[in-house]
Homo-oligomer: A and B are copies of this chain.
Amino acid sequence: MPAYAVGHKVPDSDSICSAIALSYLKTAIGEDVRPARLGELSPETLFILDKFGLEQPELKLTFADTAGIYILDHSDRIQGPDDIDDCTVLGIIDHHKLGDITTATPLEIWVRPVGCTNTIIKMMYDFHNVEIPKNIAGAMMCAILSDTVIFKSPTCTTADIKCVEALAEIAGIEDYKALGMEMFTVKSSVQGTPVRELVMRDFKDFNMNDNLVGIGQLEVIDLALFDDMKAELHADLQAVKAEGNRHTVMLLLTDIMQEGSELLVVSDDSSIVEQAYNTKLTDGKAWLPGVMSRKKQVVPPLQNTFA
């Protein structure tokens, strides 16, 4: 019976590429571990897999009947498989705050305050002295460029930059920044995509002092792409809030060139959001200069305000 490596719901490139990379590593050291995904892939992730000739991980939603799971890119139960409480968690590899997953037995945890899970997976390859295949190195590199917004995010660390440089060499990619821009251009193709798909593309729920808060993020190379869509997006946030009984739903429209985010908010109490970011909402919107990271700049202040 195999074990599985699985990232969070609404998988992003980090969740998918780390699942592929960890499975290869574990298999190389003698563990039967396979990559899985909890949902459909984004255009960005499909671009990466296509670029490096990698297959989509198996779509698999429950894991109680497996040898166990390696949890990637999260440690909150709400973001993991629905049957996580019935699973054996063999390990956690993550770069976020520590969530509420607990276990009944000892396990392996690699959590570091770096920009991307794949940077930590690279440390694991180094620790086990296993060579990274060229195509997996390329995918890992793209995941780091995605999570760190080509090193522009405040979450980006020296370790992430060094890791990208090392992976680029393994993958034989000379201009990784050009590849990063190509990837973000794919990510920016929002025209013609159903609004709900955009809201959900990179959406995470958080439990903040017993209030359910959903936060989505879209990173584009030009915020003007959303000019004709904001009313529709706002209306859909309202629907997402109602459907999930959420206290607050927010969408970050991040402009990676201007280096800031427009925040779209629907909330039972917008004053909490205004207080958290020291801003005033106009028609449920605010521009947050310099804010690019949900994890580092958006979640902690809101969590503190709720507490």
Contact = CB atoms under 8 A, between A and B. Distances in A.
B97 A103 contact: yes
A111 interface: yes
Interface stretch (A88-96, A177-185, A191-199): A88-96
Interface in A83-109: 89, 92, 95-109
Interface residues of A, number: 29
A107 B97 contact: yes
Contact of A100 (B100, B107, B113): B100
Nearest to A113: B106
Given A89-B98, A92-B98, A98-B89, A109 B106 contact: no
Interface in A23-81: none
B103 A98 contact: yes
Contacts of A108: 111-113
A110 interface: yes
Given A98-B92, A98-B101, A100-B102, A110 B107 contact: no
A303 interface: yes
A296 B106 contact: yes
A167 to B, nearest CB: 19
Interface of A: 89, 92, 95-113, 123, 127, 155, 295-296, 300, 303-304
